[in-house]
Structure 1
Amino acid sequence: MRQRRWLDLLKDYDCDIQYHPGKANVVANALSRKALIKSQGEVNTTAAMCTIGKVFNYGNEQFVIDAPGESTNQGFIHRFASMFATLKIVPDIINEVKIAIKSDHYLRTVQEDIKKGKTIPEFALDDENVLKYKGRVCVPETESLDIRHRVMKEAHTTVYSIHPGSTKMYHDLKKLYWWRGMKADVAKFVSQCLNCQRVKAERQRPTGLLQPLPEPAWKWDCIIMDFVTWLPLTPRVVDAVWVIVDRLTKTARFIAIRTQYTLERLAKLYVDNIVRLHGVPESIVSDRDPPFTSKFWEGLQKTMGTTLKFSTAFHPQTDGQSSVPFRF
């Protein structure tokens, strides 16, 4: 409906719509860009104006933000200007990081190596003996004191964060903090936020239901294939099996291969063991392994007249029949 309304509005104008990349839009208005603080003492007037009349609590003190020029708390606004638009590392988190880093084996090892004089790429210790990665504070993983959860909660649920999405929240956090798997942790945290799930409406069109594959009309018209890799090396110097299953009769063929085989060699094995004995199939169902998504394999099957059908992302049941022979 949104696009329909825009079409109804623009149809009366003789104009051409051209796409303008966001990077090239250097003169964007204030509403379409997030305001950032350039220095610690610079006040973001846009963020301050948005909070006029609000009561702000900091520690044991309470402040009321008034209009510029009438506020009795001008020093307060200048002092805590960075809290209006950007995140800020508070001292107590730094102290907790220093204590908790002893429980993280990886970060503790890096910190000890740096103290011994070793050079660890991208890692360094600052003047306060805080471990940093590319200038960002390294947040350890602990069981008793979950600092990562506290950092994500501060970046998501405070009045100045306004419950951002996972992408925006990740870009805000990665300017100050770092830990392995941060992006996945942020996405999981946002997905578990009850307020976001209840309030934020889904703007995308509902996805359709999964549809079963049609039954093939004849044997070896439709096949499913997959690889079983990293097996023990045999006297024939092979360490993998290429499993090809007929969807109609469930007949399986096993081709011994090596994981280092080129696509040309795999194509020759496919022609010798499948096409020569059973003919060219109409369709092939497989996962999205690099050999199956390569231009060479796509061009070969297109020349033969075979349709490639890839499994749905995060739904391995699509080509599950190729995994059944693995049990034996």
Structure 2
Amino acid sequence: MLDQKLNTPFQQVWVAKLLGFDFEIQYKEGSSNLAADALSRKVGAELLALVLSNASDDLLESIKLAWQQDPHLQLIIQDLQKDPKSHSKYSWIRDELRRKGKLVVGDNFTIKESIFKWLHDSALGGHSGRDVTASRVKSLFYWKDMTKDILNYVKNCGICQKNKHDLAAYPGLLQPLPIPHQIWTHICMDFIEGLPTSAGKQVIFVVVDRLSKYAHFMALAHPYTALDVAQLFLDHVFKLHGLPESITSDRDPIFISSFWNDFFKLQGVALNKSSAYHPQSDGQTEVVNKCLETYLRCMCSDKPTQWYKWLSLAEWWYNTNYHSSIHTTPFEVVYGYPPPIHLPYLPGSSVVVTVDRSLLAREEAIKLLKFHLLRAQNRMTQQANKHRSDRVFTIGDYVFLKLQPYRQLSMKSHGFHKLLPKFYGPFPVTDRIGPSAYQLQLPVSAGIHNVFHVSQLKLCPNPQAQPVQHLPVAMVDAGKLPVAILDRKMVKRGHRAATKVLV
């Protein structure tokens, strides 16, 4: 205290007065300080009454009335009226029961709910979290198990559940796709959009074999249809490797079109699509896209309109690269020998390329490849699950649904998505699709796929008490709705791709 800096004239005057006295400052506990001044022992009843009057004129009277209905509090009040020191933590002053200066609230749910609505739901409370709300309530009131009641109220607050971020660890443990039994039997595909026009092309169609990691890169021009993509697949992939058993893709309009689905289903090819708002389901192609974009950025960043000339070299570069997950190159897995390396001739040197390998050696190579893939998947799963949480729902549970309106234009009510709710619902769970995806019962007018990854869902603890937050109205102007969609095609809008439909 004596080491503090004197910053105001009042402090200078007070110090000058204190210098005229010979004194020593000593600490004294409050329990033994019986002669404390009025400021140190200020009860604050007037302040509490003023604060309560701002919330409700009847709240204080309701609290006092609840004391008469609580036998336990009635005994405490009677004891304090006879002997004020009978309960060390309680006091009865000005017809008010307090515990350590806090107004005591009886076991009355209605009164507690009114306090919560005042200190949590109102503009004063601002729908704060558990700790902040508990601090506000405990600064004025006391009742038994109040921390538990505060936690339950905040946890079941519908506005908090729908508008706040989900701060839990990323829901859903990593679920790697099963390792294929043979090369080019299970593939994945995707598009790279937003490229500048090069030789009349604006899009790259990427197809990757999930076992060997071998990839094909094909250029496309806007506009294109599902028929164009299917023909490109036949010309560049089918003629080399045949039809696969399954194709994994995202929910691109091409991949969900009727032609695409009918064409491959007639060939006996299973089409596996990612769940809504979860492109990580097709993570293999996303990684290849990133590698290809990096290569083109390095090779033609000074002339971006020349990327088409580098596409064939990019495919060779990627397929002859060593992959840590398979401990070899995709080229060697597919063709059975290392990719040729063109070196300048040195006098006296000779190169002998052995291409005759037995079927047994081939099978051993595939087994070794699967072993390395499985080990890489296990390592990836262990690392990823350190930062994830396992979230499981049962059929019949009600869950809140998280949407990204900036991704789904049909779910966008207006342009200010920063202030849109984070979650909608609650909606009932109707089915479990795999270990990490669930099917919800959405309104018929929703216009979105009803299967979602667990990371987009959050359990609703008390659905009966929650008003249903309906999905945003689709951005459809007044007029007749189309009866059916006959065809789709991709067109270019600036540097972006857009979908045009024929209705």
- Range into which the TM-score falls when normalised by the shorter chain: 0.3 to 0.5
Kindly name which structure, 1 or 2, has the bigger radius of gyration based on alpha carbons: 2
State the TM-score, normalizing by the size of structure 1. 0.43
State the TM-score, normalizing by the size of structure 2. 0.30
